[in-house]
Amino acid sequence: MYAVISTEDIQLPVGSVVRLLGTWQDYCQLKDSRGNSNLPRIKFCNGEILLMNPLPKHGREAHLLARIVESLLEYQNRNYEAFTPITMELPEEGGIEPDYCFYIDHWQSVVGQDRIDWRNSPPPDLVIEVDVTSYTAVADYLPYKVPEVWLFRKTGLQIYGLVRDSYQEQSFSRYFPNLELPTLVDQVLQTALVQGMGVAIQQFRKTLSLINLNVINSEEP
């Protein structure tokens, strides 16, 4: 299958990434040409437009990571808002479509809202990106000041925290500071590949219960 890219139609082979020089107006026209679909994924940054048609593996891993975050927040008894698909845009500056974004500390700022003003509203507290095709760059989220970005690649989960004006890789998440998330995520993923996502999440929740029990026992005199 050949790539077809125009303001009337976009067709990309599955798993492909296309880079084009273009303006903000070009980006908006291509984005609108998708109609009611959110595929292919499109982003705009520094005068460049990137289009990506994800593999099924991409969606499966993104959904699994989101389920892990949801389980962790429920384990902490914390409220949240989550969005997917969603387009984050700063007109003339950038546009990006994360796999998932979570509002944790600032969930009240977006609860019940149908639209988000990205220039004036708080950014998502956590963004999840799966990078199967070298489409994603953590620095894409700098204009939005997202506090934490999870980037999942073949090598596993990488956690990036916003430190002043750049992202730095972190060993722990600011939202789940007591957990070795890369190890836990890898365990869940391996279980899902063999036994399915439902079983993997069930076992992960049991693991969280055991972690909680061990913490309680360690605090007993």
Domain shared by 179 and 104, yes or no: yes
Domain shared by 203 and 107, yes or no: yes
Q: What is the secondary structure of 46-93 as a DSSP string?
A: TTEEEEE---HHHHHHHHHHHHHHHHHHHHTT---EEESS--EEETTT
Distance separating alpha carbons of residues 7 and 42, to the nearest angstrom: 13
pLDDT reported for residue 213: 45
Output the six-digit token pair for 18: 């296309």
pLDDT reported for residue 2: 66
User: Under a CB-based contact definition with an 8 Å cutoff, are residues 124 and 148 in contact?
Assistant: no
| Residue 119 burial by Cβ neighbours in a 10 Å radius (0-12, 13-18, 19+) | exposed
Domain shared by 137 and 35, yes or no: no
Domain shared by 43 and 67, yes or no: no
pLDDT reported for residue 125: 98
Output the six-digit token pair for 136: 């994603």
pLDDT reported for residue 1: 58
pTM of the model: 0.90
Domain shared by 191 and 204, yes or no: yes
Domain shared by 83 and 62, yes or no: yes
**CATH number of 201's domain:** 3.90.1570
Domain shared by 26 and 133, yes or no: no
pLDDT (tens, 9 = 90+) of the chain, 221 residues, equals 567 787 777 887 888 889 999 999 999 999 999 888 888 999 999 899 999 988 888 999 999 999 999 999 999 999 999 999 899 999 999 999 999 999 999 999 999 998 999 999 999 999 999 987 767 889 999 999 999 999 999 889 999 999 999 999 999 999 999 899 999 999 999 999 999 999 999 999 998 888 764 443 334 34
Domain count along the chain = 2
Domain shared by 3 and 109, yes or no: no
User: Under a CB-based contact definition with an 8 Å cutoff, are residues 149 and 129 in contact?
Assistant: yes
Domain shared by 119 and 47, yes or no: no
Query: What are phi and psi for residue 78, nearest 5 degrees?
Result: -110, 140
- 40-84: pLDDT as tens digits: 999 999 899 999 988 888 999 999 999 999 999 999 999 999 999
Last residue of a domain, one of 53, 69, 92: 53
User: Under a CB-based contact definition with an 8 Å cutoff, are residues 124 and 103 in contact?
Assistant: yes
Domain shared by 80 and 185, yes or no: yes
pLDDT reported for residue 210: 82
pLDDT reported for residue 55: 86
Domain that residue 175 falls in: 56-219
pLDDT reported for residue 216: 36
